[in-house]
């Protein structure tokens, strides 16, 4: 008798729960895109993609295999290195198969890159958004490389007007990708970003501004994290820790976050990625107390294709 009363109520609840479970899985095509960009990101570690000799060649992956890049018709349009401050390196490439213009920034490989990472005081970033403060090292490096990329981007967009713009990078490269995507969007371009284990780039207002951009039609944010990766949360946690908060300015993280829950070197399925909306959502990487550096080094595959800077 009681049960009969409950069943009509339970069924919709169960149905909704199952539906929510199904909705949580990301589409297969998005997982493939994440894997493709993890390869474009790792390829930024190869010097062969940085210089003028590489222009016109396909994106190079060193000795590693990069099946998704190899399967595509790719072409380096512009390579850059030693951009100061920050010693930034990377490349701009066209992917004719997927209709994309990709800007990829290299992660920390040199002493100058380490100094950039550790220049954690904040500077005024009102050039990007009102009330925004940015990590000084990342901001200075992003502004400098943005100047260098102005003409190549304009030319590439003129040549391939229908291609989408996408910025990518791992770690330091992810911080630069975030800031550079914001600058492209502010210039009127539509630009997606795909970052892997990217540290915070600024204060709460900046994170909220970036999060809001993804909800509008300025380009999507794909801030991808892996399990307990220390790097995306270290500034967030440090700036909220007793005593440390007195010396470290407030740092936040933008949404949405795509949190990989597979273990190190385990294959990632669509069910292994959780989407966390909003600024500073602690339901994913930010919420796990102790960080791991090993989790930082693996995103769908190796985060580096070439070992020498
Ligand atoms: C430029 O790239 C080529 C590979 O495409 C590499 O052999 C060469 O060492 C690079 N030159 C410099 C100056 O880095
Ligand atoms: C982001 O959007 C919310 C909701 O529209 C708004 O209240 C907030 O001021 C926006 N923040 C920034 C930094 O633009």
Give the nearest ligand 2 atom to 211 CA.
Answer: 1
Pocket test for ligand 2, best of 126, 134, 186, 212 (most atoms within 8 A of CB): 212
Residue 239's SS3 state is coil
Q: What was the pLDDT predicted at 23?
A: 53
Distance 159 CA to ligand 1 centre (A): 26
Q: How far apart are the CA of 47 and the centre of ligand 1, in A? A: 6
The Cβ of residue 47 has, within 10 Å, a number of other Cβ atoms equal to 17
Bond preceding residue 231 cis, omega within 30 of 0: no
pLDDT at position 4: 44
Instruction: Note the pLDDT of residue 3.
Output: 42
Find the 219 Cα to ligand 2 centroid distance in Å.
17
Segment-wise mean pLDDT, segments of 10 residues, the chain, 309 residues:
42 48 78 98 96 91 91 98 98 98 98 98 98 98 98 98 98 98 97 98 98 90 97 97 94 98 94 97 90 95 89
**Residue 8: per-residue pLDDT:** 43
Cis omega (within 30 of 0) for bond into 269: no
Among 46, 48, 74, which residue has the most ligand 1 atoms within 8 Å of its CB, making it the best to mutate? 48
**Structure confidence at residue 6 (pLDDT):** 43
Q: Of ligand 2's atoms, which has the minimum distance to the CA of residue 131?
A: 13
The whole-angstrom separation of Cα 252 and Cα 203 is 5
**Ligand 2 pocket, residue 192 CB under 6 Å:** no
pLDDT recorded at residue 10:
45
Active site residues: 171, 229, 296
Q: In this structure, which ligand is nearest to the CA of 54?
A: 1
The CB of 294 under 6 Å from ligand 1? The reply is: no
Buried b or exposed e, range 98-123, using 16+ CB within 10 angstroms: bebbbbbbbbbbbebbeebbebbebb
pLDDT at 238: 95
The CATH class, in words, for 38-297 is alpha beta
Ligand 1 centre distance from Cα of residue 54 (Å): 8
Closest CA to 258 of 216, 195, 212, 182: 195
């Amino acid at each position: 008798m009681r049960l009969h009363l409950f069943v009509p109520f339970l069924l919709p609840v169960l149905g909704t729960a199952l539906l929510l479970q199904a909705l949580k899985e990301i589409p297969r095509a998005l997982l493939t895109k994440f894997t493709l960009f993890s390869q474009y990101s790792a390829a930024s570690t190869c010097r062969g993609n940085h210089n003028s000799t590489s222009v016109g060649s396909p994106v190079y992956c060193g000795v590693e295999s990069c099946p998704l890049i190899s399967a595509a018709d790719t072409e380096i349009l512009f390579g850059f290195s030693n951009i100061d401050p920050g010693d930034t390196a990377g490349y701009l490439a066209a992917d004719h198969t997927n209709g994309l213009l990709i800007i990829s920034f290299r992660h920390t490989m040199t002493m100058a890159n380490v100094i950039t990472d550790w220049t954690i005081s904040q500077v005024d970033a009102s050039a990007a958004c009102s009330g925004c403060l940015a990590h000084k090292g990342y901001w200075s490096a992003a502004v400098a490389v943005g100047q260098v990329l102005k003409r190549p981007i304009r030319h590439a967009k003129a040549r391939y007007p229908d291609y989408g713009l996408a910025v990518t990078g791992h770690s330091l490269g992810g911080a630069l990708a975030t800031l550079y995507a914001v600058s492209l969007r502010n210039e009127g371009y539509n630009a997606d970003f795909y970052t892997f284990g990217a540290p915070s780039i600024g204060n709460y207002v900046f994170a909220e501004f970036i999060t809001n951009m993804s909800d509008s039609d300025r380009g999507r944010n794909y801030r991808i994290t892996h399990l307990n990766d220390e790097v995306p949360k270290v500034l967030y946690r440090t700036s909220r820790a007793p005593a440390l908060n007195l010396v470290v300015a407030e740092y936040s993280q933008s949404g949405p976050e795509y949190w990989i829950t597979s273990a190190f070197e385990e294959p990632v399925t669509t069910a292994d990625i959780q989407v966390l909306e909003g600024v500073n959502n602690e339901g994913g990487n930010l919420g796990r107390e102790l960080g791991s550096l090993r989790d930082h080094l693996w995103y769908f595959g190796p985060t580096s294709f070439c070992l020498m800077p």
